A and B are shown apart, each in its own frame.
Chain A
Amino acid sequence: NAGVTQTPKFQVLKTGQSMTLQCAQDMNHNSMYWYRQDPGMGLRLIYYSASEGTTDKGEVPNGYNVSRLNKREFSLRLESAAPSQTSVYFCASSEAGEGQLFFGEGSRLTVL
């Protein structure tokens, strides 16, 4: 039972490079989320998708874009990476209107 799958697990970028983090869930959940986790800052919501075809900004959306490709997949794109985007990124999903989130294992991104 895969749950929420994120790729890649690790990535090193140079400042200015772009990349996309991929996320897929197999629980038939309507809602999907992207968080970043930084030491001393906790989990912060970047973007979310309440349902297929919709996306909205969270607490820290600057420098990121998202695409809800279909019900299963939600990707996060960094167009021009900055060192401040060095973080661990988590994708999560939930039933619509539910606060019980299911998280992936995380993607560790370092921007040099």
Chain B
Amino acid sequence: QKEVEQDPGPLSVPEGAIVSLNCTYSNSAFQYFMWYRQYSRKGPELLMYTYSSGNKEDGRFTAQVDKSSKYISLFIRDSQPSDSATYLCAMSANQAGTALIFGKGTTLSVSS
């Protein structure tokens, strides 16, 4: 079983839809959870960063962590064509960048 599983998609939604992106993991020691957004032919950029369980909201984006289920989600409200990108989840047991484990990414396409 891979440490981090992420459905690669692609996921296609109309503009204005609510999008749910998800990752599951197997290592119960993970405490730090991140979502990166990667536009085509660009580098990943950090979108959300959360520690332990709970929700974090930033504008149209909400990150949710359920450690009991080993499941994290990223919700995008009122999705826009500019949200079309690949979303990578990442997580680690400690704050060291070297410990980061990435999911393979979900490709999202938002049509106008």
Contact = CB atoms under 8 A, between A and B. Distances in A.
B97 interface: yes
A57 to B, nearest CB: 10
Contacts of A4: 43
Interface of A: 4, 31, 33, 40-43, 45, 48, 50, 56, 58, 90, 92, 94, 97-106
Interface residues of B, number: 24
A56 B97 CA distance: 13
Given A90-B44, A106-B41, A106-B42, A45 B34 contact: no
A33 B42 contact: no
Interface string B50-77: 0000000000000000000000000000
A40 B44 contact: no
B27 interface: no
B91 to A, nearest CB: 9
Contacts of B97: 31, 33, 48, 92, 94, 97-101
Nearest to A41: B104
Contacts of A94: 97
5 contacts: A56-B98, A99-B97, A100-B97, A102-B45, A105-B41
Given A99-B34, A101-B46, A42 B95 contact: no
Contacts of B94: 99
A22 B8 CA distance: 30
B41 to A, nearest CB: 7
